[in-house]
Chain A
Amino acid sequence: MVSAVEVRNISMAFGANQVLSGVDLTIDKGQTTALLGANGAGKSTLIKILSGVYSSFTGEILIDGKVVTIDSPTTAKSAGIETVHQRIDEGVIPGLTVAENLLFEKIVSGEIPRAVSLKTIVNEAEKIAEALDLNWNRSKLRNDVYELGIAEQQMLILARTLSRSPKLLILDEPTSALSVAESQNLFRFIKNLEAQGIAILYVSHKLSELEQIAKKLVVMRDGKIRNEQSAPFSWDLALKEMLGQQELGERDNFKQVQGTSVTLKLNNVQLFKESAPLNLEIKKKEVTGIIGLLGAGKTELAKVIYGADELISGSMDLEGQSYKPAHPADAVIKDIYLVPEDRAADSMIPNWSISHTATLPFMGDFSARGIIKKLAEGIRGKELVQDLKVVTTSHEAFVDSLSGGNQQKVIVGRWLQSKPKLMILDEPFRGVDIGARRDISKRVRDLAATDVAVLVLASDVDEILDVADRIIVLVEGKVVMDVKAGETSKDKIVNKMSEVA
């Protein structure tokens, strides 16, 4: 194999914090190299060095055997390194149409003249969309880019990057917002690019994807490369290296339980304007897992129950009483809590400590005549850190300074201080390393055991199987399967998920 990009002895530190030490990495042409590591292992730093975001590192980068200087995103791009970052909103340009976004680089570079009509641009864009198998018609291409769903925005960014034929394409958790079918679409693109001799560096937490797409696996921990393998991979070994001393063990074999009385009843609730009415009973003492692809209505369901979105039609009963939340505050008063899907956008306040983040929903309990009880708040922060084993220097540390898994622990943990009636977790394991995922799963199961109804929504089957007693598959706002977890299998679930409604 010929190497496309070679990284030699790269080190980098943020102040006293050594984030990369002596990393050597060879990324071969025409194949996919997977990069695996827990949060904080140094993956992101390495990617940012390659894409020119960080310039204060030591070591060399070679492209096609020649040393190159990469000190800005522009030099990275001209050297042939393209990066698709996890954050989708940073990639699309609001206010422009889908077609203009698709052709943005060409418009900026002048390849497409500025004064050209939208019709011409749409014509061009239609060709690209067709070539890439994006099923986008002309009226869709004329829409404002924000009318696309998150998955389609992701596809747009990918399509734009791929159209530049890079030497190395870095994909940072590219499927975190994609459905299974869309991921398969992406993998087809990747195979295509491999055939053209493009090297791919693929970062993901989803082992099944890596198994499917990668020929080479590189495992990082604490800023160093710990393990390199060629396919077929030993995942056991890779995960042990990734998690360090921590023993991986088997999937937690929890005792499946069955819910007792009904906590929340949904009567003919419509999640989308055109979708079928949904009837559902969520019971206490069990973890209800809802699986569905993107657009199946998981987040919509969570937000309707939490009062964050308006109910289109139908009604809800909470413990036999009519329940009509008009605002999340109404849900919180009834002890219904939500851990939202997008941590950075919907949960975290920048530069807020763990303690402050923990007490925000319950300020009333942490104040007397309006004055905040500092002492109680500090104690609560410490408790949370202990209870969920949050890895941090102190309970006064900023939540944004923690790794993704620990951030999520704080967000989940803050709702556990007051006993919930119904706890909703929307994609609680996204961007969360395996260690943290186990801790959160266990805590959530313990919670259900204390007479609480727990609702977990995710698109990853393994994540749901790891935590749920009852499994519900949602397709386009409709329940297509509702069984005890013990009575089904991964294959059956995936089958149901891909059902066309």
Chain B
Amino acid sequence: MNIGKLNATNGFDLRDFIVKYGFILVTVILFVWFASTEPTFRMQNTLFSMLKFTSVVAITGLGVTLTMVVGGLDLSVGAIAGLSVTLSAMTMVIYAQTGAVALVVVLLGGALVGLFNAFLIVVLKIPDLLATLATMFTIMGLKLVPVDGQSVSSGLILRDGSVAPGKFTPGFLLIDRAYLGPVPLPVAIFFFLAFVVWIFLTKTRWGRVMYAIGSNPEAARLAGVRVQRYRALAYALSGVFASIGGLILSSRIGQGDISAGNSLLLDAVAVSLVGTSVLGMARPNAWGTTLGAVLIGIVITGLTIKGFPYYAQDVVKGLVLLTALIFSFTLSRRKSRFVPAV
């Protein structure tokens, strides 16, 4: 692989061009193809519903991106989003609290799980992937305990035989259904968070330091950086982001579906990894993750309109990820150092 890197030529380099712009090009070409062959794809509604559909994965992926920046990877995000769905349902349906209370409970839950990950990784020194894997299984099971393994929806019969007193509040359901002007609220939240993460990672000292940690943690430590605090911060933030994704998901489903969030992990990790290849950055970054999520959204919406079966989606996602990995690892001249070793 090193030898291949040396065959540099002067002037235009196709490989560099592909690495830098390949992904954006693929996105644009697919978009144009779907738009020109499928009239429904062109409609504003379809576009926004596509982005709305993508927003949960994208927001969760932004959290994963933060952990990848510090050289880790949070495998518990799907489980956290699932936990958020159950928690919000429990708060509103079983405890008959308001949507606002549910929102606070969910965000706190996400932050707590994130901090628990941080504790496992930073204090107990368990490798990132293994620690978050353990967390994933634990909370996937744990969330079922208080609800006896059932999905929570209004009218649920509780253990003592009574009927659950509450329901999903209209306000809470608005999270997924409201609009800001023409823009669906989840899409607005998605872009707002992408913007915030972009600012955080590229313009603030904390983001800069986090990239340093991901590239060479010992050099960062010897430059006086409190590496473990930043790693803890990344996992806490990742937990919060996953719980925001879970909030939107919960509002969308309108009930405490126990299987919600199960497929989210792979999608969120995939968009973050796809994101590393955008513009040949070879490192996790906010716009990359955003674009990765949008690309997968476009592909899946397009294929669905074209009538491909649902199981084709996973094949396509897999191929998109594979292509991105080839861009990042095989074609890029930059050494990618952002995948944690187990």
Chain A residues in contact with chain B, CB under 8 A? 14-16, 53-56, 72, 306, 308, 327-329, 331-333, 338, 340, 345-352, 356, 360-361, 363-364, 366-367, 370-372
Contact = CB atoms under 8 A, between A and B. Distances in A.
Given A14-B6, A328-B225, A363-B205, 11 more contacts: A53-B2, A53-B3, A308-B222, A328-B222, A329-B226, A345-B218, A349-B215, A351-B335, A360-B220, A364-B205, A370-B205
Nearest to A366: B205
Contacts of B8: 14-15
B44 interface: no
A317 to B, nearest CB: 21
Contacts of A328: 221-225
Contact of B204 (A16, A308, A356, A372): A372
Interface of B: 2-3, 6-10, 203-206, 208-209, 211-212, 215-216, 218-226, 334-335, 337
B208 A356 contact: yes
Given A347-B222, A364-B205, A371-B203, A54 B335 contact: no
Contacts of A306: 222
Contacts of A14: 6, 8
A367 B222 CA distance: 20
Contact of B224 (A15, A329, A340): A329
B219 A345 contact: yes
Nearest to A73: B3
12 contacts: A16-B10, A56-B6, A56-B7, A329-B226, A333-B224, A349-B219, A352-B212, A361-B223, A361-B224, A361-B225, A370-B204, A370-B206
B199 to A, nearest CB: 8
A347 B206 contact: no
B225 A360 contact: yes
A114 to B, nearest CB: 26
A347 B9 CA distance: 31
B208 A372 contact: yes
Contacts of A361: 223-225
- Which of B10, B209, B219, B224 counts the most A-chain CB atoms under 10 A from its CB? B224
Contacts of A327: 221, 226
A360 B212 contact: yes
Contact of B337 (A54, A348, A350): A350
A491 B143 CA distance: 73
Nearest 7 pairs between A and B by C-beta? A332-B224, A363-B205, A367-B205, A370-B204, A361-B223, A329-B224, A15-B8
A350 B220 CA distance: 11
A340 B215 contact: no
Nearest to B228: A327
A10 B71 CA distance: 41
A40 B18 CA distance: 31
Contacts of B211: 349
B337 to A, nearest CB: 7
B222 A340 contact: yes
A348 B335 CA distance: 14
Contacts of B208: 356, 360, 363, 372
A491 to B, nearest CB: 35
A360 B215 contact: no
Contacts of B335: 350-351
B280 to A, nearest CB: 12
B201 to A, nearest CB: 11
B6 A54 contact: yes
A349 B206 CA distance: 16
B3 A55 contact: yes
A347 B219 contact: yes
A308 B337 CA distance: 24
- Which of B203, B220, B222, B225 counts the most A-chain CB atoms under 10 A from its CB? B222
A349 to B, nearest CB: 5
A301 to B, nearest CB: 15
A69 to B, nearest CB: 15
A116 to B, nearest CB: 30
Given A53-B2, A327-B226, A372-B208, A351 B334 contact: yes
A50 B208 CA distance: 40
Contacts of A331: 224
B327 to A, nearest CB: 17
A346 B219 contact: yes
Contacts of B220: 349, 360
A44 to B, nearest CB: 13
Contacts of B203: 371-372
A304 to B, nearest CB: 13
Contact of A371 (B204, B218, B221, B222): B204
A14 B208 CA distance: 31
